[in-house]
Amino acid sequence: MTFLIVIMLALFALSVPIAFALGIAALPFFLERRLPLIAIPQVIFDSMDSFVLLAVPLYVLAGRLMMTGGVARRLVEFAVSLVGFLRGGLAAATVLTSMLFATISGSSAATAAAIGSTLIPEMERKKYPRPFAAAVVASSGELGVIIPPSVPMVIYAVITGVSITDLFIAGILPGIMIGLSLILTIVVVSSIRNYGEREPFQLKPYVANIGVATKRAALSLVMPFIILGGIYGGVFTPTEAAVVAVAYALFLGCIVYREIPLKALPRIFAESAFTSSIVMIIVGFAFVFAYALALMQAPQQVAAAIRGVSSDPMVFLLLVNLFLFVVGMFMETFAAIIILAPVLAPVAQQLGIDPVHFGLIMIVNLAIGMVTPPVGVNLFVACGIANITMEQLMRPLLVFLAVLIINMFIITYVPWLSLALIR
């Protein structure tokens, strides 16, 4: 097991694409066991021959349709009308918009890209430093995989057999808590450093602006209730909900808002297919690596090692948090879930930790990895939009990382937040 992991990390260090690094790292196992190499494509095909995984490309497509169909802009206007009067109001509206968009997109990178492309230039115009604006977008973008629907949650559920519906519902309260804590942080930092322009609060114009923005965004705001209400009410499965999301996004973008011309649809479909293919090839080769670890009895070895340190669930969760934080810095989220979930989830269950709660702990940890260097995808998205370097982004990002880590420990040691809406 150690040999395979060393090979994988060495290939990562050599900048070998993640999918190929996972496949190559598993190859010595197949050769050593004299297993036919045809088993590799068979494992890949079997792993992706899943109705549940069909939700992944569908949520990717729905998110892209929302980005180009005018939904994101209307959500921005609605969020600004609610919190724009605060010190740092535009940055706070960025977080609130990310929370709203997260209920549609299922993706951290898509949320950061959709919101950042609109609000980073606007925040700069309102006298926010570009690094601070980029840090806000990068940190709030992680809500895209915590607030349901969530593509990583779908993959975790497929791997562990946990109910996708339960996992989706478990993310609601923690996602709201993280979002509100980021908004509070923005208000405090902006007040101390005098960021942004602030207009005097007047009740009548405030109520009128909310009314106008709500009217413009009404059909967009209905979408989360259709998706999550349909799943929770048993009307359709999470995969079927993804189909509904695509259909509704097409309806809004092409017929209601008319911001997606028919000639643009082939390009949107092609871009979504390209993004989905990148995700799915990583998923396929990660399954190969996980298959090798399973045959080597890696879960049993890890369980024995952890029990050798402590059998206390609290200590186990602390070790898992520290481990996943480091893993999230260097490994792509989907690969980390597929490789580590079959190893860690059984140990957690043996120690009496609720499987849904543990799944959310993994998702939140790896979501933080999306905003930590060197491979944090949200950082690259935010830096690209703001046209700044990673070094410029890191200083304002540190306070948000600290807030996210505090939230992570609260979610870990207060299971009620994850399970209250399920039980």
- Identify the three-state secondary structure at position 334: helix
Domain count for the chain: 1
Which pLDDT score is estimated for 36?
85
Look-up of token digits 């092409």 = 254
Q: How does 292-303 read in b/e, with b if 16+ C-beta sit within 10 Å?
A: bbeebebbeebb
- C-beta separation of 24 from 7 below 8 A: yes
Q: Which of 337, 389, 357 is nearest to 154 (CA)?
A: 337
Give the pLDDT score at 299.
Answer: 67
Q: How far is CA 304 from CA 267, 300, 326, in A?
A: 51, 6, 21
d(CA 347, CA 324): 15
The Cα diameter of the chain in Å comes to: 76
Q: What is the pLDDT of residue 354?
A: 94
| Residue with tokens 């890209």, as numbered in its chain | 113
Angle at 16 between CA 12 and CA 17, to 5 degrees: 100
Provide CB contacts within 8 A for 312, sequence distance 6+. none
* pTM for this model (two decimals): 0.85
Q: In 3D, which of 212, 261, 397, 412 has the Cα closest to residue 322? A: 412
Question: What is the per-residue pLDDT for 54?
Answer: 81
Q: How far apart are CA 302 and CA 318, in angstroms?
A: 15
Closest CA to 117 of 44, 173, 64: 64
- Per-residue pLDDT in tens (0 to 9) along the chain, 423 residues: 667 778 877 887 777 777 788 888 888 888 888 888 888 888 888 877 777 778 778 888 887 887 787 787 788 888 888 887 878 888 888 899 888 888 777 777 777 777 787 788 888 888 889 999 999 998 998 888 898 888 889 889 988 889 888 998 899 999 999 999 999 999 999 888 888 776 677 778 888 888 888 888 888 888 888 877 887 777 888 788 888 888 988 888 888 888 888 888 999 899 888 878 877 888 888 888 888 877 877 766 776 777 677 778 898 899 889 888 888 887 778 888 888 888 888 888 888 899 999 999 999 999 998 888 766 778 878 888 888 888 888 888 999 999 999 999 999 999 999 999 886
Q: What is the pLDDT of residue 75?
A: 82
Q: 17: domain range?
A: 2-419
Task: Let me know: does 23 contact 40? Beta carbons within 8 Å.
Answer: yes
Can you give the pLDDT at residue 404?
94
Cα(115)–Cα(79) distance, rounded to whole angstroms? Answer: 11
